[in-house]
Structures are given as C-alpha cells and as structure tokens.
Amino acid sequence: MGEVHFYHLTRTPREAVLPVLIARARDAGWRVEVRGTQSAAMQELDMALWLGPDDAFLPHGLCGGPHDALQPVLLTAAGQAPAPPCDCVLTIDGAAITPAEIADRARVCILFDGGDPAMLAQSRALWKACVAAGCVAKYWSQESGRWEMKAQAGQPAPQ
C-alpha cells in the first residue's frame, strides 16, 4: 500500500517545488511520473526542466516517445499512462489519480495551489477517498515558511 503526500502550495511556486520532489524520488531509486492535465503545460514543464541549472539536471522525457520505458522521469498528460507504471507519481494542476493507483505505487505526491478553491476542494475529497481506501496520507504545509507535516492518517501495511 503506497503513501500519498499532499503538498499545499502557499509560498513556493510549483516550478520550484517540483524539481526538489523529483530529485528526492530519484534519490530513493524510484522511476517518476509527473502527471498533468494538459499536453501544452507538460511541454512547458519539459522546457523548464531542460533549461534548469546544470548541477541539478533531471533526465526526463515527454510521454509518447520511443523510449518511455527507459525514462527515469516521464511527463504525462490526461489519458497517458506509462508502461510499465512508475514507482512514484507527482500530480499537478489537479490531475486525476485514484486510491487504487496510489496503493500500487511506492509514493504519490499531490501538489495543489492553496489559492485555488477548486483545487482545495478536489484535494480534500481525494484525501478522504484515500483514507477510506486504507492509504497512508500525509499533509504538508509551508505556512511557517518551511515544509512541515501537519496531518497524517492511516497506518503503513505490515512488512
């Protein structure tokens, strides 16, 4: 049973948080899917990652290429599913994910904009669905200026 971490973005933009979370997931040895809702936004993210600092380069690709299965970080949009599935999924822009998908992954991170009432409502509903399905859920906030875990629900499955 995987864990789902909810990141409530209030101070730091998604573009700054995403590379940090991707790097941490890669450090854990996980293959990463970054799931968005629109192809155009994922293409913009692709360019931003390519143009990032050399010392923090994150090898990645857009879903739909000939080497998707070999990509350590795969950027997907609605309706695209990497094969094989990635160990870690980071969702942005309200991209959909189900508790069943979360259960099959090592980690899922939901990044949501604290200033968007629709994303807040969607994230709350997903939190409730995940907890009801038995997933371990953790809520991270940066209201004090640094990331702090503010809530946790569920118990990890026995090993």
pLDDT tens per residue, range 148-158: 999 999 876 66
What CATH number does the domain containing 137 carry?
Answer: 3.40.50.10110
% of the chain residues with pLDDT over 70: 97
Q: Do strands 88-91 and 107-113 pair parallel, antiparallel, or not at all (unpaired)? A: parallel
Whether 14 is covered by a domain: the verdict is yes
Tell whether the model's pLDDT for residue 131 goes beyond 80.
yes
Q: Please name which of 143, 125, 104 lies closest in space to residue 7, comparing C-alpha atoms.
A: 143
Q: How many domains, the chain?
A: 1
Q: What pTM value is reported for the model?
A: 0.92
Q: Could you read off the pLDDT of 71-107 as tens digits, one per residue?
A: 999 999 988 988 889 999 999 999 999 999 999 999 9
> Which candidate, 44, 43, 52, places its Cα nearest to that of 23?
52
- Domain carrying residue 71: 3-54+63-153
Is residue 158 a part of any domain in this protein? Answer: no
How confident is the model over 112-134, as a mean pLDDT?
94
Q: How far is CA 53 from CA 11, 47, 48, in A?
A: 22, 12, 10
User: Quick check: is 159 in a domain?
Assistant: no
| Within a domain: 10 | yes
